[in-house]
Amino acid sequence: MKIKDLPKIDRPREKFLEKGSDALTNSELLAILLGSGIKGTNVKVLSQKIIKKFGDNLVNVSVEDLMKISGIGEAKALQIASTMALAKRIFDKQNSLDNLILSAQDAIDLVSDLRDKKQEHLICLYLNARNALIKKEIISVGILDKSIFHPREVFAPGLEMRAAGVILVHNHPSGDPNPSQQDKEVAKRTVEAGKLMGINVIDFLIIAKNGSHSLLGDIKNIQLIDTGYVAEGFQASLFDLLTDADNSPSGVKNLDKNKKSVSTLRFMDFCAGIGGGRLGLENLGLECVGFSEIDKHSERTYREFFGDREKNYGDLMKINPGDLPNFEVMIAGFPCQTFSVMGQRKGMKDDRGQVIYGLIKIMKGKDLPYFILENVKGLVNHNNGNSFRVILDELDKAGYKVYPKVLSSLNHGVPQMRERIYFVGVRKDLVKKGREFRWPDPVKTPKVAEYLIDTSKLEFNERKRSYETFIKFIDNKYNKGLFKVDDLLKQEYLILDTRQSDLRLYNDKVPTLRTGRHGILYVKNGKFRSLSGFEALLLQGFPKRLAEKTKNKINDIYLLSQAGNAMTVSTIESIGKNLLNYIQS
């Protein structure tokens, strides 16, 4: 019987679509993979034969074994074997993270006991193509401060293991992690031999009581914490990098400097909104490796700004930290409405108030070095200050020294009176003795005229009432002898906040943007007009080149709310700059 002769509900593909994978047997799942049977045998029967022959060992099946089954040629055998290998690889990656070496720190963690050795040891970590550890082996043990070895002692075992790459690690009993001239010569000789043997020397590490050192990090001019290794893609060998360095104007002199550039620190953007926090850190040269946002409208704006390069991991309360890429800095504007004076102020009892615990779970799961969090100023006094104290206590218990402070965007690059509470966190083992994180100093506020420039939206729109009615409304409700509407209309860039019980006037600055109908008006060409979404983005520090991407694409109803929820780009940039200075010092 052919598959097409079976009832639809019994056909593997239709059954999968109707009921999902759990409703199918192993042979039916394999049948979908194969796609078609062979002459005289339909695909279901063929799949049953394969499952019966190999059973659970199918995951390790070879092409040769599969081709022993009548009718299975090389193409189908490759199809099955490669799928099993991919599934096994993904499973191993998810369930055996400890054996993956994806950074210099991962390698150092495997040999941390070397710090206290009184003699020099040289250890080789043999890796497969996915950077999974095959074997850790001691190559040589020296006397006091000398360790002599021949490259064949490294590569002969590697050839037997079919290793794709090696990482060499040795210790300095003196406590100084900086490479000696002998270290550089040994490293260069070894990477040249690796090139000839077809085994990639990924890094040459030195470990000592006073720190650690990466030759790869030196060549790439990045500090140890940023030195990552490529598991899926192209990993340049030290041979190629050394050759490039030799041919550069500065030559190998680069290897003599223990530079601490943090330009490639990685971060993840949680409660991302439209990416104000991300942009502030990217302006400093940090690299975003992913984000988390559940609002589809915000994600659409985020994608307009940053494209589709990074994955959205969705609801952070459902994230398994092990599924996230490696990163060193968390940026998160966790939900503020539950603490805001504009909301119901349910605080920690609200689902949104629980998000801080989701962030802490990720911090602990990734052993995160640093973070920057943001919330409304109202959090500080919410519930008589109890919510604020609970958050600080939880972060302290998670292992962080936390620096909280209320800052106004008005003092950090934009003419907006936006006060927010910021938390900068440093993992306690990274806290520098005798040195505290320093908050950025205020800067001169720009002129508001630079931001209220949207010539595409000059129409009046205040709850869709007529302009004449609105003038009367202003006169009757707000004019208490302090000013006349006619006088107001002669002003330029005079900001009015109609949300307040009394009309407030702001010269050369605007009140904080809020979600929903913002209620902020200003004078333009002798008339009151409301802010556009474009202008709201500018007032949050977004550059014009990005704000212009939203024109004719994102409705102002969404954009004004998104801008009200966003972090001020310039404020995050100022905080981030001082955090980097702290890390580098």
Here the CATH number for the domain that contains residue 126 is 3.40.140.10
Helical spans, DSSP H, in 276-354: 276-282, 296-306
Pairing of strands 287-292, 494-497: unpaired
Structure tokens of 116?
A: 């206290």
Of the listed ranges 76-80, 267-271, 435-439, 535-539, the least confidently predicted one is: 76-80
Alpha-carbon distance of 264 to 267, in angstroms, equals: 9
pLDDT at residue 164, as a whole number: 84
Query: What average pLDDT does the segment 173-177 reach?
Result: 86
Residues 55 and 134 in one domain: no
> Catalytic positions, please?
336
Out of 1-10, 191-200, 413-422, pick the least confident.
1-10
Q: What span, in angstroms and rounded, lies between the C-alpha atoms of 494 and 504? A: 10
Same domain, 164 and 91: no
242 and 289 part of one domain: no
Angle, in degrees to the nearest 10, between helices 296-306 and 556-565:
80
| Per-residue pLDDT, 128 | 84
Answer yes or no: is 584 within a domain.
no
Looking at the domain assignment, is residue 261 inside a domain? no
**How does pLDDT run across 446-482, given as a tens digit for each residue?**
888 888 888 766 556 555 567 777 777 777 665 555 5
- Most confidently modeled range among 136-150, 311-325, 460-474: 311-325
Domain assignment present for residue 572? The answer is no
Q: How far apart are CA 275 and CA 288, in angstroms?
A: 11
Q: Distance between CA 255 and CA 252 in Å, rounded?
A: 6
Residue 540: band (very low, low, confident or very high) from pLDDT cuts 50, 70, 90: very high
Share of the chain above pLDDT 70, in %: 77
Q: Give the range among 31-35, 209-213, 565-569 with minimum mean pLDDT.
A: 31-35
CA 430 remoteness from chain centre: 20
- 241 and 321 together in one domain: no
Q: Full-prediction pTM beyond 0.75?
A: no
- Say if residues 367 and 322 touch (Cβ distance below 8 Å): no
Residue 23 lies in a domain: yes
Q: At what angle do helices 355-366 and 386-397 cross, to 10 degrees?
A: 20
- Lowest mean pLDDT of 19-23, 249-253, 340-344, name the range: 249-253
**Within this chain, do residues 151 and 231 fall inside the same structural domain, yes or no?**
yes
Distance from C-alpha of 203 to C-alpha of 107, rounded to nearest angstrom: 10
Position 302 in a domain: yes
Q: Which two tokens stand for residue 305?
A: 């700004």
Same domain as 279, residue 395 = yes
Q: Residue 151: which of 142, 139, 162, 137 has the closest Cα?
A: 139
- Asked if 230 and 194 touch (Cβ cutoff 8 Å), the reply is no
Residue 578, CA atoms < 13 Å, CB-side half-sphere: 19
Banded pLDDT at 217 (limits 50, 70, 90): confident
Residues 182 and 131 in one domain: yes
**Per-residue confidence band for 331, with pLDDT thresholds at 50, 70 and 90:** very high
Mean pLDDT of 77-101: 73
Looking at 381, 410, 435, which one is the last position of a domain? Answer: 435
Domain at 12, CATH number: 1.10.150
pLDDT in tens, 337-349: 444 444 444 444 5
Provide the pLDDT for residue 83.
86
CB 179 within 8 A of CB 151: no
Q: Which domain holds residue 67?
A: 3-95
Hey, what are 275's tokens?
Answer: 């990416």
Residues 6+ apart with CB under 8 A from 280: 331, 541, 567, 568, 569, 570, 571, 572, 573, 575, 576
Q: Say how far apart CA 228 and CA 368 lie, in whole Å.
A: 16
Are β-strands 266-270 and 329-332 bridged in parallel, bridged antiparallel, or unpaired?
parallel
Residue 578 lies in a domain: no
Name which of 517, 524, 522, 516 is nearest 503 in CA terms.
Answer: 522
C-beta neighbour count of 498 within 10 angstroms:
20
Based on the fold, state whether residues 284 and 421 are members of the same structural domain: yes
Same domain, 271 and 358: yes
Nearest to 281 by CA among 578, 573, 571, 584: 573
Residues in the chain, overall count: 585
Quick: pLDDT tens for 7-19: 666 677 887 787 7
Most confident segment among 216-230, 260-274, 384-398: 384-398
Last residue of a domain, one of 256, 290, 310: 256
Statement to judge: residues 108 and 243 lie in one domain: yes
Helix, strand or coil for residue 44?
A: helix
CATH (domain of 271): 3.40.50.150
For residue 1, pLDDT beyond 70: no
Which is nearest to 137 in space by CA: 95, 92, 106, 168?
168
Q: Average of pLDDT values for 228-240?
A: 52
Range from 194-203, 368-377, 382-391 that averages highest in pLDDT: 368-377
Our count of domains for the chain comes to 4
Whether 271 and 405 map to the same domain: the answer is yes
Amino acid 493: pLDDT: 59
Binned at pLDDT 50, 70 and 90, residue 352 comes out as: low
Region of 56 on the Ramachandran plot (φ > 0 left; ψ -120 to 50 alpha; else beta): alpha
- Are both 413 and 471 inside the same structural domain? no
pLDDT at 118 over 80: yes
Assess if residue 582 is contained within a domain: no
What is the spatial distance between Cα 351 and Cα 574, in angstroms, rounded to a whole number? 31
H helices, E strands: number in the chain: 20, 17
Asked which of 404, 435, 466 is the last residue of a domain, the reply is 435
pLDDT (0 to 100) of residue 106: 85
Closest by CA to 575, choosing from 392, 408, 435, is 408
Examine residue 554 and state whether it is found in any structural domain, yes or no: yes
